Amino acid sequence: MNVETSFDFKHKFIEDFTLFDSKRVNNSSEFVRNLRANGIEQFKALTAPNRKQEEWKYTKVTEIINKEFFTYASRLEQDKIDLSPFLIEGLEAHLIVFINGRFSERNSSDLSALKGVQVGNLENVLQNNSTSVEKVLGKVADTEEKFFAALNTAYFEDGLVIQVADGAIVDKPIFCLCLSDASQGNLMVNTRNLLVVGKNAQVKVINANYSLEDSAFVLNNQVSEVVIAADAIVDTYKLQMETDKSYHFDYTQIHQQQSSKFSCNTITLGGKIVRNDLNYLLQGEHTESFLNGLYLTEGQQLVDNHSLVDHAVPNCMSDEFYKGIMAGNSKAVFNGKIMVRPDAQKTNAFQSNKNILVSDNATINTKPQLEIFADDVRCTHGATTGQLNDEAMFYMQARGISKEKARKILLQSFAGEVTERLELEVMRDYLNQVIEERINQL
Amino acid sequence: MLQIKNLFAKVEDKEILRGINLEVKPGEVHAIMGPNGSGKSTLASVLAGKEDYEVTQGEVIFNGKELLELEPEDRAREGVFLAFQYPIAIPGVTISNFIKTAINEKRKYLGEEDIKAVDFLKKIKEKMALLEIDSKFLGRSLNEGFSGGEKKRNEILQMAMLEPQLSILDETDSGLDIDALKIVANGVNKLKSDQNATIVITHYQRLLDYIVPDYVHVLYNGQIVKSGDKSLALELEAKGYDWVKEEVASLA
Ligand SMILES: Nc1ncnc2c1ncn2[C@@H]1O[C@H](COP(=O)(O)OP(=O)(O)OP(=O)(O)O)[C@@H](O)[C@H]1O
Ligand SMILES: [Mg+2]
């Protein structure tokens, strides 16, 4: 039965593709048309995710592929939107706004004259200076076995493009706000983001996702391709804050060159079904890679964090630290794969996933996956799942702190172990506050 | 202040306290000694309100109130303080925030305003000086990575800040080096008044040289089998518990 419905979803996008592509034939380069064609071929060859597939064992997407989504966002409003609910107090940043996956110039800062960095939208870059991104677009992400990512390759139109020049230290974080508006019906947004950082350069990037309007469902389908040159230091944040009328897929592929440092901090507080695939390929020695994650789920939410750190060369360090608090009937999945290839001697790889279930009906499936083919490596991993610590609760109560308050304090401090790892102080403060409010409601 | 009458308690169907009687008056110091596993920590936990223990008989009156009817937090707010034998680490919560929260929870219960930040800081610095605790501890996560002795000192710091009426110190001396023992004992003595009382659970006479008890009780098999003045502690130190056990056996 599922096969039939998934066929519909697939069938529709295969059918629609010819029209979609032909409408854009005049303003698409050969390069982009080939890429799209390749994407739809990959998509055709794939079966929709189902629980027989190891990678989707715990994450059911039936409710998504049973729905019909439109891919076009009629070029909605270019009005100024009140962005204040989505901004971070105290954060000074270069702001770039996308609404339903399309760049909204009016709502963005003036990005025309930034020093050492070009920040823009993919549609524009492809039209004016396509060659600058052709080495990256479609070359970093491997969508061959990824149903939603392949669909993204076939249907992407716009996205965030950041190119940092060699040696440039970008003065302020780049804050990309992705807003969705489903007022015209179920909508699929295929965003394609590129982050290319030159040698010795430094930048911080925030990608924040919110629902503006959620009378219908949004399928927010993002693919990001990231190339970090030697000695660069890059700190990125993903804030996934949509409502429970939103499905969010994020596939991010990172290529890291020698002695670079890259952090990705994934904070998931919203979304009905969220699936992240965060993949690092370490191509140069002496890199440092950080993967921090925090998910707070409730109701019927499902948050699935898949990650892969591919130690392809020696002498690299990776550190993955994910924590979750699950309430209601929510579910979370953690699957962290560390691959240490035969050449990758002296690898240091750490991984930790800790979870607290605050309801009897919440579940977590956590699975560390170490594939180690070198002998001189140091890998540690650990996963824990538990309820709130009774001993700690009693200790606090014995000091006069009410049970309710003790519970909140424990949950906050549990989550705080992730936020304290964030380098951006304003982000830390902001998230601690948001988390506190969230926990108070649990 | 505290009357324990014929108190029985069990855990997982195992009877641990088997008829405890004890009266503590303001201004008094009581020492409770006894072999390992005799029920000393259990008594302390039952008084503090730990859920694992089921009271099957008896009652405890604290300042005229049925202590066993109160939630653990309300017992603390009423003025009962337990210094844990094994303090718990709470990562991510600083000592400073923890103690401030505890103080304000008590104040709220008593219908008082929150403590002012400056007053709090002044007071905690004072108490830390008294207990010779480095001020960098303020910002550290509660008991996380603390040495055994540091944990015990931190317990007494909390006691000093919360100003309880009845303090129960469960083996606060274990894990303390000789200098720290003096400092902590001195701290406890300074906090003593004719309004409050202390129950000291210990294995060693040494602590009682500094915190001088008015009464010494021997807890054995869940009962107080012998009581005396401070000389009893000296006798136990010299002779061990066998003679007490024999006395109990001959009575049975
Ligand atoms: N939660 C529990 N579950 C099972 N048994 C328990 C529990 N708590 C205490 N006990 C048992 O009750 C008895 C008394 O323990 P308690 O900790 O009160 O002894 P104690 O006198 O404090 O000993 P010590 O001098 O070693 O600290 C012991 O046999 C102990 O194993
Ligand atoms: Mg004990």
Q: With CB atoms and an 8 Å threshold, state whether B88 touches A401.
A: no
Q: What is the pLDDT of residue B236?
A: 86
Q: What is the pLDDT of residue B234?
A: 86
- B198-240 residue pLDDT tens: 999 998 888 888 999 999 999 999 999 889 898 888 888 888 8
Token readout for A123 is: 């549609």
Q: With CB atoms and an 8 Å threshold, state whether B102 touches A399.
A: yes
- A259-305 residue pLDDT tens: 999 999 999 999 999 999 999 999 999 999 999 999 999 999 999 99
Ligand nearest to the CA of B16: 1
Q: Which of A284, A300, A322 is the last residue of a domain?
A: A284
Q: What is the pLDDT of residue B180?
A: 87
The Cα–Cα gap between A174 and A191 comes to: 17
In this prediction, what percent of chain A has a pLDDT beyond 70? 97
- Which CATH number characterizes residue B15's domain? 3.40.50.300
Ligand 1 site, residue B13, Cβ cutoff 6 A: no
Q: Which of A260, A284, A308 is the last residue of a domain?
A: A284
Between the CA of A152 and the centroid of ligand 1 the distance, in Å, is 61
Distances A273 to A299, B39, B106 between C-alpha atoms, Å? 11, 51, 43
User: Of all helices (H) and strands (E), which one includes residue A202?
Assistant: strand A202-213
Question: Is A325 domain-assigned?
Answer: no
SS3 A400: coil
Of the pLDDT bands very low, low, confident and very high (cuts 50, 70, 90), residue A76 is low
- Mean pLDDT of the region A85-91: 95
Between the CA of A400 and the centroid of ligand 1 the distance, in Å, is 24
Between the CA of A344 and the centroid of ligand 1 the distance, in Å, is 51
Q: Residue A118 class from Cβ within 10 Å (0-12 exposed, 13-18 middle, 19+ buried)?
A: middle
Question: Is A134 domain-assigned?
Answer: yes
SS3 B112: coil
Question: Is A416 touching B (CB cutoff 8 A)?
Answer: yes
Q: Which of B42, B63, B60, B61 is nearest to B52 (CA)?
A: B42
The Cα–Cα gap between A1 and A5 comes to: 7
Q: How many residues does chain B have?
A: 252
- A12-54 residue pLDDT tens: 999 999 999 998 887 788 999 999 999 999 999 999 999 999 9
**Closest chain B residue by Cα to residue A404:** B73
Confidence check: pLDDT of A75 > 80: no
Give how many domains chain A has, as a whole number.
Answer: 2
The Cα–Cα gap between A50 and B73 comes to: 49
Which residues, at least 6 apart from A295, have a Cβ–Cβ distance to it below 8 Å?
A: A267, A268, A269, A274, A303, A305, A322, A323, A324, A325, A326, A332
The Cα–Cα gap between B117 and B102 comes to: 14
The Cα–Cα gap between A353 and A356 comes to: 10
Give how many domains chain B has, as a whole number.
Answer: 1
| Beta carbons of B121 and B99 less than 8 angstroms apart | no
Q: Tell me how close the Cα of B76 comes to any Cα of chain A, in angstroms.
A: 5
Partner residue facing B50 (CB), from A394, A399, A405: A394
Q: What is the pLDDT of residue B22?
A: 94
Ligand 1 site, residue B11, Cβ cutoff 6 A: yes
Q: What is the pLDDT of residue B252?
A: 67
Q: Which domain holds residue A115?
A: 3-284
Candidates A399, A404, A418, A436: best to mutate against B (most CBs of B within 10 A) is A399
Confidence check: pLDDT of A1 > 80: no
- A325-384 residue pLDDT tens: 999 999 999 999 999 999 999 999 999 999 999 999 999 999 999 999 999 999 999 999
Co-location of A280 and A397 in the same domain: no
Any idea what DSSP says for residue A255? E
- Mean pLDDT of the region B1-26: 94
Of the pLDDT bands very low, low, confident and very high (cuts 50, 70, 90), residue A4 is very low
- B115-169 residue pLDDT tens: 999 999 999 999 999 888 988 888 899 999 898 888 989 999 999 999 999 999 9
| Beta carbons of A299 and A332 less than 8 angstroms apart | no
Lowest mean pLDDT among A137-151, A425-439, B179-193: B179-193
Strands (E), A214-286: 218-228, 233-240, 246-256, 261-268, 273-282
Q: What is the pLDDT of residue A27?
A: 78
SS3 A353: strand
Confidence check: pLDDT of B244 > 90: no
B contact residues 100-119, partner A, Cβ 8 Å cutoff: 101-102, 105-106, 109
Angle CA A305–A310–A311, to nearest 5: 140
Whose Cα sits closest to atom 6 in ligand 1?
B11
Token readout for B153 is: 């000192």
Q: Letter for the amino acid at B164?
A: P
Q: What is the pLDDT of residue B8?
A: 94
The Cα–Cα gap between A212 and A81 comes to: 10
Q: Which of A112, A83, A84 is nearest to A98 (CA)?
A: A83
Co-location of A10 and A148 in the same domain: yes
Question: Is A399 touching B (CB cutoff 8 A)?
Answer: yes
Question: Is A412 touching B (CB cutoff 8 A)?
Answer: yes
Whose Cα sits closest to atom 2 in ligand 1?
B11
Q: How many residues does chain A have?
A: 442
- A221-253 residue pLDDT tens: 999 999 999 999 999 999 999 999 999 999 999
- Mean pLDDT of the region B39-67: 93
Q: With CB atoms and an 8 Å threshold, state whether A405 touches B162.
A: no
Cβ neighbours of A416 in B, within 8 Å: 92
Q: Which of A257, A284, A311 is the last residue of a domain?
A: A284
Q: Which of A171, A170, A160, A172 is nearest to A197 (CA)?
A: A170
**Closest chain B residue by Cα to residue A400:** B73
Q: With CB atoms and an 8 Å threshold, state whether B91 touches A413.
A: yes
Of the pLDDT bands very low, low, confident and very high (cuts 50, 70, 90), residue A220 is very high
Any idea what DSSP says for residue A47? P
Question: Is A13 domain-assigned?
Answer: yes
Of the pLDDT bands very low, low, confident and very high (cuts 50, 70, 90), residue A210 is very high
Which residues, at least 6 apart from A216, have a Cβ–Cβ distance to it below 8 Å?
A: A182, A183, A184, A185, A186, A187, A245
The Cα–Cα gap between B7 and A67 comes to: 65
Any idea what DSSP says for residue A49? P
Q: With CB atoms and an 8 Å threshold, state whether B77 touches A398.
A: no
Confidence check: pLDDT of A3 > 50: no
Q: What is the pLDDT of residue A113?
A: 87
Q: Residue A25 class from Cβ within 10 Å (0-12 exposed, 13-18 middle, 19+ buried)?
A: exposed
Q: Tell me chain B's radius of gyration from C-alpha atoms.
A: 18
Question: Is A64 domain-assigned?
Answer: yes
Tabulate helix, strand, coil % of chain A (nearest 5). 25, 40, 35
Q: Which domain holds residue B211?
A: 2-251
Q: What is the pLDDT of residue A78?
A: 64
Partner residue facing A413 (CB), from B49, B82, B90: B90
Whose Cα sits closest to atom 5 in ligand 1?
B11
Q: What is the pLDDT of residue A179?
A: 95
Taking all residues of chain A, what is their mean pLDDT, rounded to a whole number? Answer: 94
Distances A438 to A247, A330, B19, B62 between C-alpha atoms, Å? 20, 15, 47, 39
